[in-house]
Amino acid sequence: MTCEDCRAWLALDEDSAELADHVKGCEECRRFEAGLAADRAVLAAMREPPADAYAAVRARALAEARRGRTRRVWPWVAAAACVLAAVAGVVFRAPLREPVRPEPVLFAVNPPVGWNVVPVAKRRARRKAPAVLSEPLRIEIQTADPNVVVIWLVDREKGTS
Amino acid sequence: MTEDELAGLAESQKTGVLQRAKAGDEAAFRELIDVYQRQVINTAWRMLGRLDDAQDAGQEVFLRLFRSLRKLTSEDAIRPWLYRVTVNVCRSARKRGVREPVAMEETYDPPSGDCGPEEAAETAQRMRWMMRALARLPEKERTALVLREIEGLSTKEVAEILDSSETTVRSQISVARTKLRKMASAEGRE
């Protein structure tokens, strides 16, 4: 085993009889091994930063966390406000968009003279719904004026209006 | 109460802290910072070489922890997650061009222990030298060595944190150790 091999194995924390024999007979490798142990001891003693290093970090981390929490809440508040505003707009504006339809004016008139009014629906109505026959046949005529509807009421039995 | 029961109780209490932190309890989040701040700041310090840069990195890491609390399912997941994020934050900081690592003469105080003043001074000197030597290592080798030797993680844990193989990590650590020895020899510090 060469000194180079021996040091490589020592640096890898290897342990073997062959290695021990070499170290026993080689002063330089013994010094290398002792140096490794000393380095390890120094590094192991470096586990503590100064005690006053903590307070500042803790205070800053807590302050940042508080700010971060606030920053995280704001987008949700803004989103909720937008949703509320949208809902309110739909609810309160919806009736305004509904078209205003005037109540039609209803009145009955006699058919013009000479018109032959035939109660076409007489038999059909009798077959399907005899109970309705007692009611007059209702004919609605929509005029050019949307507010005016002409309605004829025709006696189903007699065929007269 | 057996040791297992005590360990289970401690674990449930810790999990309780995580759950409370998730629910927005600031005191619980502060507890988490207290538990893990040494790990985060020390790792960042050894990787970046400057304590003030490490503090900035630590702040960023804990902010990311706060934002990611919901993703963490158990207390066991926090430690490796924090190591991973710390390493990533430090790498990003180096890419952004934080200052080069420096020796810790102006900021580093050696730990006070039972040793005498001469021994403490010697230890402090060795640590300062080690910080300078670490700064001269390539980033990957330095990170692997810091996690293995300073943080005391196993090779497997280091490999998982660095998203690498155990073989690669062992090689990086071995090369780093050998380089440190060569630096020491070159400076007559054997």
> Are B81 and B94 in the same domain?
yes
Q: In what order do the strands lie in the sheet with A105-108?
A: A105-108, A148-154, A137-142
Residue A142 lies in a domain: yes
Enclosing domain of residue A39 = 3-44
Asked if residues A45 and B127 have their Cβ atoms less than 8 Å apart, the reply is yes
> Are A115 and A150 in the same domain?
yes
Closest CA of chain B from A85, distance in Å: 29
Residue A117 lies in a domain: yes
How many Å apart are CA A153 and CA A136, to the nearest integer? 6
Closest CA of chain A from B2, distance in Å: 31
> Are B25 and B86 in the same domain?
yes
> Are B121 and B144 in the same domain?
no
Measured at the CA of A133, the angle between CA A146 and CA A152, to 5 degrees, comes to 25
Enclosing domain of residue B122 = 102-132
Q: What is the pLDDT of residue B101?
A: 60
Among the ranges given (A13-27, A60-74, A104-118, B60-74), the one the predictor scored with the smallest mean pLDDT = A104-118
Q: What is the pLDDT of residue B106?
A: 45
Residue B108 lies in a domain: yes
**How deeply is A24 buried, as exposed, middle or buried, from its count of CB atoms within 10 A (0-12, 13-18, 19+)?**
exposed
Q: Residues 6 or more apart from B176 whose CB is under 8 A from it?
A: B137, B141, B142, B144, B145
What does the pLDDT average to over A37-53? 89
Q: What is the pLDDT of residue B105?
A: 45
How many Å apart are CA B22 and CA B36, to the nearest integer? 16
Look up residue B103 and give its DSSP letter: -
pLDDT tens-place string over residues A109-138: 777 777 776 666 655 555 555 555 567 788
Q: What is the pLDDT of residue B82?
A: 97
Q: Residues 6 or more apart from B173 whose CB is under 8 A from it?
A: A11, B141, B144, B145, B148, B149, B155, B158
Residue A161 lies in a domain: no
> Are B47 and B59 in the same domain?
yes
Measured at the CA of B62, the angle between CA B56 and CA B65, to 5 degrees, comes to 145
Nearest to B176 by CA among B141, B130, B151: B141
Low-confidence stretches of chain B (pLDDT < 50) are 1, 104-107
Q: What is the pLDDT of residue B158?
A: 97
Any A CB within 8 A of B120 CB: no
Residue B81's CB is within 10 A of a number of other CB atoms, namely: 18
Residue B176 lies in a domain: yes
Q: What is the pLDDT of residue A65?
A: 79
**How deeply is B43 buried, as exposed, middle or buried, from its count of CB atoms within 10 A (0-12, 13-18, 19+)?**
buried
How many Å apart are CA B147 and CA B153, to the nearest integer? 6
Residue A160 lies in a domain: no
Structural domain count of chain B? 3
Backbone conformation region of residue A114, classed left if phi is above 0, alpha if psi is from -120 to 50, else beta: left
Any A CB within 8 A of B130 CB: yes
> Are B25 and B94 in the same domain?
yes
User: Which of A8, A11, A42 is facing B127, going by the closest CB pair?
Assistant: A42
Domain end call among B132, B154, B178? B132
**Minimum Cα–Cα distance from A35: chain B residue:** B190
Q: Which residues of B touch A64 (CB under 8 A)?
A: 59, 62-63, 66
Domain end call among A98, A120, A136? A98
- Looking at per-residue pLDDT, the higher value among B147 and A154 belongs to B147
How many Å apart are CA B176 and CA B182, to the nearest integer? 10
> Are B116 and B89 in the same domain?
no
Residue A25 lies in a domain: yes
Given a cut of 70, whether residue A53 has pLDDT beyond it is yes
Q: What is the pLDDT of residue B2?
A: 52
CATH code where residue B163 lies: 1.10.10.10
> Are B66 and B111 in the same domain?
no
Residue B170 lies in a domain: yes
> Are A91 and A110 in the same domain?
no
Residues of chain A with pLDDT > 70, as a percent, come to 72
Asked if residues A111 and A152 have their Cβ atoms less than 8 Å apart, the reply is yes
Q: What is the pLDDT of residue A85?
A: 81
Given a cut of 70, whether residue A148 has pLDDT beyond it is yes
Structural domain count of chain A? 3
For residue B59, give both structure tokens: 């702040």
Question: ipTM of the predicted structure?
Answer: 0.83
Q: Which residues of A touch B62 (CB under 8 A)?
A: 57-58, 61, 64-65
pLDDT tens-place string over residues B111-152: 555 667 787 888 888 888 999 999 999 999 999 999 999 999
Q: What is the pLDDT of residue B123?
A: 82
Residue A84 lies in a domain: yes
User: Which of B30, B109, B130 is facing A62, going by the closest CB pair?
Assistant: B30
How many Å apart are CA B141 and CA B179, to the nearest integer? 10
Which segment, A4-18, A65-79, B108-122, is predicted with the most confidence on average?
A: A4-18
CATH code where residue B73 lies: 1.10.1740.10
Q: Which residues of A touch B38 (CB under 8 A)?
A: 47-49, 54
How many Å apart are CA B134 and CA B146, to the nearest integer? 9
> Are A58 and A40 in the same domain?
no
Contact (CB<8Å) A42/B123:
yes
